Structure 1
Amino acid sequence: MSDSNEHELLIKTPKQLVYAVIAAFVIPIFVIILLAYYVTSSEKPAAGSNAFSDEAIAQRLAPVGTIDFVDASAPKVLKTGQQVYSTACAACHDSGAAGAPKFGDKGQWADRLGKGFDTLWKNAVNGIGTMPAKGGNSSLDDIEVARAVAYMGKEVGADYAEPEAPAAEVEATTEAAAESSAETAK
């Protein structure tokens, strides 16, 4: 074995120990301050990000919803089959949720179409299985539900015609529109 001292300490005097202790506290604090300053000093959006563009800011600040005031005495404007489907039916029939036949899948609709339009329409109005009445939208008119059934049936090859509004409702709508235009003209 050798006589030389193999393990020599870096700190040999008390003065060096004081410097080492001070450096052990000061250097990490200095690094933390620099990192905090770097992080908070300016906006650094990700590459290719438009998060700070005027359009993106306006979109984030836009109201979540709107309030539409409807005249309760005005005649109801009936929705088309496609409008009813997209608002009430698509949530389940697009994905096949809860066993709902998928929109446009002829195989899943074949046995249902065999039962006829009236049966499909009554099941849609009253609900069947896990499907709620009127697709969960109780404000829908029976004619609107029939239009949605016809719309979905057409997509799988059925020759269902979209039902028209009853004649009494069409006349009432026409009369109400005439009255409101007459009042506006005054």
Structure 2
Amino acid sequence: MRLPKTWAVALALTVGLAACSQPVPPAPTAAQALALAPADARLAALYGESCKACHAVPGTGAPLVHDRKAWDPRWKQGQAVLLDHAVQGFQAMPAGGQCVACTPDDFNALIRFMAGREDPAG
């Protein structure tokens, strides 16, 4: 039996959307957040010297590293906006996130890491 073309398209969209809507992983515990670091040694050092002080400590107001529930609304603004916030500062975040050695590429990689989006397509 062959489905009408509109049904086939609707079925394909439904299956495709179901595959895209992966469950959001739970937020890390405080101990887990403190233990997380980028795989790249240079980025891990930059992260440890600057980002970690706020993004791995609950209660600072900063979204915790790998807390997709906290990061997803920010991520939807676009990486260009997040980069601007990191460079220029935003609300309680100081300009440059206190990382004087960070380049724009470093900031983008660190943002992807903290947002749980290490995969650039993510």
Q: TM tier, shorter chain?
A: 0.5 to 0.7
- 1:147 correspondence with 2:109: yes
**What is the Cα deviation at residue 123 of structure 1?**
0.7
Instruction: Give the secondary-structure state (helix, strand or coil) at the position aligned to 2:74.
Output: helix
How much identity, in percent, do the aligned residues show?
28
* Contact kept in structure 2, 1:124 and 1:145, CA below 8 Å: yes
Please say which structure displays the higher CA radius of gyration. Answer: 1
**What is the Cα deviation at residue 139 of structure 1?**
3.4
- 1:160 correspondence with 2:81: no
Q: Mind listing any 5+ residue stretches in structure 1 that lack a counterpart?
A: 1-78, 162-186
Q: Distance in 2 between matches of 1:146 and 1:80?
A: 14
Quickly say closer, same or farther: Cα 1:118–1:142, change in 2 above 3 A. Answer: same
Q: Distance in 2 between matches of 1:139 and 1:158?
A: 20
Q: Distance in 2 between matches of 1:81 and 1:119?
A: 21
* Contact kept in structure 2, 1:81 and 1:150, CA below 8 Å: no
Q: Distance in 2 between matches of 1:150 and 1:81?
A: 11
* Contact kept in structure 1, 2:86 and 2:96, CA below 8 Å: yes
Deviations 1:41-100 (A, max 9, x none): xxxxxxxxxxxxxxxxxxxxxxxxxxxxxxxxxxxxxx7433322221000000134310
Partner residue, 1:110? 72
Quickly say closer, same or farther: Cα 1:99–1:108, change in 2 above 3 A. Answer: same
Alignment: residue pair count = 81
When the two chains are superposed, the root-mean-square deviation of aligned CA atoms in Å is: 2.2
* Contact kept in structure 2, 1:98 and 1:130, CA below 8 Å: no
Q: Mind listing any 5+ residue stretches in structure 2 that lack a counterpart?
A: 1-40
Q: Distance in 2 between matches of 1:80 and 1:127?
A: 22
> Which letter does structure 1 place at the counterpart of 2:50?
A
* Contact kept in structure 2, 1:94 and 1:103, CA below 8 Å: yes
**What is the Cα deviation at residue 158 of structure 1?**
6.4
